[in-house]
Amino acid sequence: MRRRYVLVATIVVAVSHAVVTLSHATESAGSGGGDAEDVAKKLSNPVSDIVSVPLQFNWVNGNGPQQDLRFVMNFQPVVPFAISEKWALIGRWIMPYESQPASLGSATGLGDITASAFFSPRASSGLLWGAGPVFGLPTTSDPALGSGKWSVGPTAVVLKQTGGWSYGMLWNQLWSFASTSNVDRPDVNRGLFQPFLAHVSPKGVTVTLQSEAIANWSASSSDVWTIPINAQVSKVTHFGPFPLSVAGALGVFVVKPDGGPDWQLRTTFTLVLPGKK
């Protein structure tokens, strides 16, 4: 197991190094590092004033008794809207496309969509925050892919940005209130805790340490928490006229339910459309 972690870590470091090297070459023909640093800082802020369109690929390893691979691709655009001179509404959308192994139901298709709306002050300094509702939108009745439930709850984010550092936490809680069919399915009572610490260099390279801890409050006490620790390196470059962030990450699950995953590999491509709240 240790050898596998070392191999995957080596792959992530090699890919990240290649990304940074190629991006430096692109920058020499494009805009300066200051622009890349500004975009990278805004990407570290969940309630910033830019439109971003991330496409995230996740290879989640070690699932079930046969240590199977689970693949998840997330399409997760973020769009800010100005609703007054002092307030903005930031819409965040996560739509997963999943491929489940036999041990988890052997299914492929869309998973449940998570849609969030953050009301946030349009301040650009000091303590940054946003809060609002989050919705769980079912896309399938297949139990291997979705909950079969309509869900709703609160969400909030708070963070601080100083110099090249960004740190904070995003949180949400979902409770189901209706089913999509007459089939009896477990109710949704799930929390997400996403602390993060990121450092941005003047060249737009971001090193991030974060978690996406999930609490299934309805599970038995030993199976409530799923906690990965993710280390990521990203670089802002350009795709034509648009800024593009390319990221590679490795995550290890330090707490997991029975049959939960061991580790994950992630790559993310984020197209950025600068704008104002």
Give the CA dihedral 96, 99, 105, 110, nearest 10 degrees: 30
At residue 134 the predicted structure's pLDDT band, cuts being 50, 70 and 90, is very high
Mean pLDDT on 168-179: 97
DSSP string for residues in 207-221: EEEEE-EEEETTS-G
Q: How many CB atoms lie within 10 A of CB 240?
A: 6
pLDDT of residue 274: 65
Looking up residue 75, the CATH number of its domain turns out to be 2.40.160.40
Rounded distance, CA 90 to CA 170, Å?
13
At residue 105 the predicted structure's pLDDT band, cuts being 50, 70 and 90, is confident
**Among 16-25, 107-116, 190-199, 259-268, whose mean pLDDT is lowest?**
16-25
Tokens of 168: 């904070």
Q: Are 193 and 164 a contacting pair, CB within 8 Å?
A: no
What 3-state DSSP class applies to 133?
strand
pLDDT of residue 142: 85
At residue 124 the predicted structure's pLDDT band, cuts being 50, 70 and 90, is low
Residue-number span of the structural domain to which 163 is assigned: 2-274
pLDDT at 27 over 70: no
Q: Please give the tally of structural domains in the chain.
A: 1
